[in-house]
A = this chain, B = another copy of it.
Amino acid sequence: MAVTIKDIARKVGKSITTVSRALADYDDVSPATRTRVRQVAQEMGYVPNFTAQHLQKQQSDTLGLILPTYGPRFSDPFFSEFIAGIGNKATLFDYDVLVLTRAPGESELLAYKQKVQSRRVDGFIIVRTRRDDQRINYLRSVNFPFVAFGRTQEPLDYPYVDEDSVSGMRMAVDHLYALGHRRIGCIYSPELLNFSVDRLHGVRSRLGELNLSMPAEYFVQGDLTQETGYEAANILLGLPEPPSAMICFNDLMAFGAMSAIQSKGLVVGKDISVTGFDNIPSAEYSHPPLTTLFQPVYQIGAKVCEMLIQIIRDEPLEESQITLKPELIIRESTGPAPLLKGV
């Protein structure tokens, strides 16, 4: 069985109190005792019992992350990178990360409540914020520590890191416009997600300023998977007058779109241009390499995690609402518009 401070106390011939203090580096233990205790602890392979320690301290040193999973095939590289960012930073500060999976909705919210009330975690990281986000509403209402990746539609006062989707999308539009594209289609994501709305706004506002037409059928919704990107692109390609460029709301859908375009015998970056969002590692090695907006997901995960730990520890945040400018990475999936029309 596991070694406890009792075992150490017995061996050293001191009380458990002394052992506890020696281990915790209190200054009221004699150096001799301290040394002896620590040595014996080492020898016996003592590791504090996590549960006991935390029952006493009334904290768990654990961060919660509830992944919004939809279907069973949940394979978005976005999340593994985000988890890596969180995990590595948490390790640095001696926190653990509890990862749950829930489909958005009632059971998801229940999981938040249950974890909060059972004191299972000290704080939450919220990912993929929704326009009106019940998770955030709840955590705010009970004043429980959390940091979100993303904003909500109403500007609320809570700590987050987000990218500036609007300006990102405006950059994408500008890039395509400069290449001569005048018919620009868009494969967007569910409007439940707040970034979808921002990105849509970015696309639409810039398109409008440039006096480009934006017929309703140029906007097709996907669900951020490669599959729906493929299908959406096929819909766009089937239009009487298909767009010469497609703005996709993430890289995965962009890959699907490229694939659909290529299946029709068209060349991406020549016949039809495609842009993505995220710049997942694959984006650099797709064919053709993908023009996309770089969002440092790993760093954002790390940052969000660090902020949360600071909040839990009651340390002041230098900045509690961070908005990052995405960077447009131009690769070969975008090129000059094939036929310049209406210039």
- Which of B75, B280, B298 contacts A81, CB < 8 Å? B75
The answer to whether A77 has its CB under 8 Å from any CB of chain B is yes
Contact assessment for B67 and A285 in the assembled complex, using a CB-CB cutoff below 8 Å:
no
A97 at the interface (CB under 8 A from B): yes
Q: Closest CB-CB distance, A320 to chain B, in whole Å?
A: 25
B residues near A281, Cβ cutoff 8 Å: 73, 75, 225-227
Nearest CB in chain B: distance from A317 CB, A = 23
Closest approach, in angstroms, between the C-beta of A326 and any C-beta of chain B? 17
Q: Out of B84, B119, B252, B287, which one reaches A50, CB within 8 Å?
A: B119
Known: A96-B98, A282-B252. A2 touches B259 (CB 8 A): no
With A91-B102, A258-B287, A262-B287 as contacts: A84 and B55 at CB distance below 8 Å: no
Q: Check B286–A255 contact: CB distance below 8 A.
A: yes
Q: Do residues B69 and A74 form an inter-chain contact, with CB atoms below 8 A?
A: no
A225 to B52, CA, bound (A): 42
Copies of chain A in the complex? 2
Q: How many residues of A contact B (CB 8 A)?
A: 67
Question: Across the interface, do B72 and A84 meet the contact criterion of CB distance under 8 Å?
Answer: yes
Contact present for B49 and A51 (CB under 8 Å): no
Do A81 and B87 touch (CB < 8 A)?
no
Q: Which residues of B contact A69 (CB under 8 A)?
A: 84, 87-88
**CB neighbors of B among A44-77 (8 A):** 45, 47-52, 54-55, 60, 62, 67, 69, 72-77
When A69-B84, A75-B280, A98-B96 are in contact, do A47 and B117 touch as well, CB less than 8 Å? yes
Interfacial residues, chain A to chain B (CB-CB below 8 A): 2-3, 45, 47-52, 54-55, 60, 62, 67, 69, 72-81, 83-85, 87-88, 91, 96-102, 113-114, 117-120, 225-227, 229-230, 252, 255-256, 258-260, 262-263, 280-282, 284-289, 298
24 contacts between A and B (CB under 8 A): A47-B114, A47-B118, A50-B118, A51-B119, A51-B120, A67-B83, A72-B85, A74-B81, A75-B77, A75-B81, A75-B280, A75-B281, A76-B77, A76-B80, A77-B77, A83-B83, A87-B99, A87-B100, A91-B101, A97-B99, A97-B100, A226-B285, A230-B285, A263-B287
